Amino acid sequence: MNIILSVAFIGLFCMDYYFMYSNTIKRNPELTEKQRAYILSIKASTTLFLISIYFNYKFIASGFNVDLYTSTLNSSDNFLLDLSVFNLISYLITDCYIGYNKYHKYLCSLSGYTHHIVYTFISLTALYIKVPGFYLLFFIEELPTIFLSSGNYNKSLRRDNIFGLTFFLTRLVYHGYLTWKFSFNKLFLILGILSFGLHSYWFKNWFSKHFLKTNCKDIKQE
């Protein structure tokens, strides 16, 4: 996809996120700053998770055949891959922009501005080098983010144990498996190990807070 069309899609997705946030605030002006900080996260994590199901289904149905995602994808899959990465980049950009003006303190952590900036460049790199579709396999890891964001937006939806379980299964166990499965590519191996370390750090903080009863501050994931 050429650069002009790519920028156009990112711009459209940014507008979609911006208007979605604005309309939510207009309908619910009583929302706290903390609740507002998770509006975009709910939309982004749910969208990326649902898209990832498709790519993971194909991967599992193939018997975990890495050739499926290391060879040329069909045009429809390539288009879906590009749109999904555009969507992620748009979320990261919009969340930084709105967050700086509306809920700055909730982005001043390792999982806030730092995470967003790093993953923006990773996503742009993925587009530039035409990374195979297995990039979307990792988006299954957005499942615990759905529980985290929904629970912070609406306390009645909070399920700490389910969040912890899904985080462990997707961001540690499955992430570790995918990193090993595609370890023949040194760049992806390094990125996989680095992100695994970050996930381990977050999980340790969550586990300490909910089971060891210690104080942990940096528990807000992407």
Q: What SS3 string covers the chain?
A: CCHHHHHHHHHHHHHHHHHHHHHHHHHCCCCCHHHHCCHHHHHHHHHHHHHHHHHHHHHHHCCCCHHHHCCCCCHHHHHHHHHHHHHHHHHHHHHHHHHHHHCHHHCCCHHHHHHHHHHHHHHHHHHHCCCCHHHHHHHHHHHHHHHHHHHHHCHHHCCHHHHHHHHHHHHHHHHHHHHHHCCCCHHHHHHHHHHHHHHHHHHHHHHHHHHCCCCCCCCCCC
- The pLDDT of residue 124 is 87
Distance linking the first and last C-alpha atoms of the chain? 27
- The pLDDT of residue 191 is 86
- The pLDDT of residue 73 is 58
- The pLDDT of residue 170 is 97
Distance between CA atoms of 104 and 193, rounded to whole angstroms? 29
Rounded (5°) CA angle 177-180-181: 80
| HSE-up of residue 128 (Cα within 13 Å, Cβ side) | 6
- 75-102 vs 3-27: helix crossing angle, rounded to 10: 50
Longest alpha-carbon distance in the chain = 51
- The pLDDT of residue 117 is 94
Structure tokens at 116: 């967003």
pLDDT < 50 positions in the chain:
214-222
- The pLDDT of residue 91 is 97
- The tens digit of pLDDT for each residue in 162-183 reads 999 999 999 999 999 999 998 8
- The tens digit of pLDDT for each residue in 85-120 reads 999 999 999 999 999 999 999 999 878 899 899 889
- The pLDDT of residue 76 is 67
Distance between CA atoms of 149 and 153, rounded to whole angstroms? 6
